[in-house]
Amino acid sequence: MINTLPIFLKGNVCKGYGRGSKELGIPTANLDDDVLQLLPSESTNGIYFGWAQVDSSPVYKMVMSIGWNPFYKNTKRSVEVHILHIFEEDFYGSTVRVIVEGFLRNEQDFSSKEEMINQIKMDISIAEKKLLEKNFMEHLNYSFFLPSVNIEHQIENSEITEKSNVNGFTNFVQSNI
Ligand SMILES: Cc1cc2nc3c(=O)[nH]c(=O)nc-3n(C[C@H](O)[C@H](O)[C@H](O)COP(=O)(O)O)c2cc1C
């Protein structure tokens, strides 16, 4: 578990094993190994929630996993972000900026895929609620995030739940549509 939160991570999206979307219906953006260098200690492994931005997209809620994915017995440690937004296309090669706000639990093994999916759905529902707290919402104001370029498109197509004005730029937080 990371003791000093929030932490800020920036990484490029690379190919994972591809099981997130296909097997679990929970797509994840796998961040490149440089991000692991920022999280050198094994003690940072676990499941977290926070905010994420893909290139200059709006800032979305996210849940993430850091570690070895014991259910799949991976031989490579990974940082994977599941963004609470439906993207039309893959975004391999994009830059993802992440603020890790809180710890949810340790990584677990499960006796079935369905059990793991149910647990991740619970993680998502806790994250959805937690992130509405003022102390987390305030971090949307950090200039760490880029101003969003496609806000109008996003307004037309989704339900805006919160809004904050940031140094003359507006960041929108959206519900999962
Ligand atoms: C919020 C969240 C929680 C997760 N929790 C676990 C876990 O407890 N145990 C585990 O083995 N993998 C966990 N994972 C990782 C999934 O197994 C992983 O995303 C999946 O294997 C897809 O990886 P891939 O994109 O490399 O194929 C979690 C992933 C997310 C996004």
Determine if ligand 1 sits within 6 Å of the CB of residue 77: no
Determine if ligand 1 sits within 6 Å of the CB of residue 45: no
Structure tokens that stand for 169 in this block = 């730029």
40 assigned to some structural domain: yes
**Which of the four pLDDT bands, split at 50, 70 and 90, describes residue 152?**
very low
Range of the domain at 73: 7-174
2 assigned to some structural domain: no
16 assigned to some structural domain: yes
> Is 80 one of the annotated active-site residues of the chain?
yes
1 assigned to some structural domain: no
76 assigned to some structural domain: yes
> For residue 4, is pLDDT > 70?
yes
Determine if ligand 1 sits within 6 Å of the CB of residue 70: yes
Domain count, the chain: 1
The alpha carbon of 158 and the centre of ligand 1 are apart by a number of angstroms equal to: 27
Mean predicted confidence (pLDDT) in 24-48: 91
**Sequence-separated (6 or more) residues with CB below 8 Å from residue 40:** none
Q: Is the preceding peptide bond at 40 cis, omega within 30 degrees of 0?
A: no
136 assigned to some structural domain: yes
Query: Domain of 125: which CATH number?
Result: 2.40.30.30
How confident is the model at residue 1, as a pLDDT? Answer: 84
Model confidence, pTM: 0.86
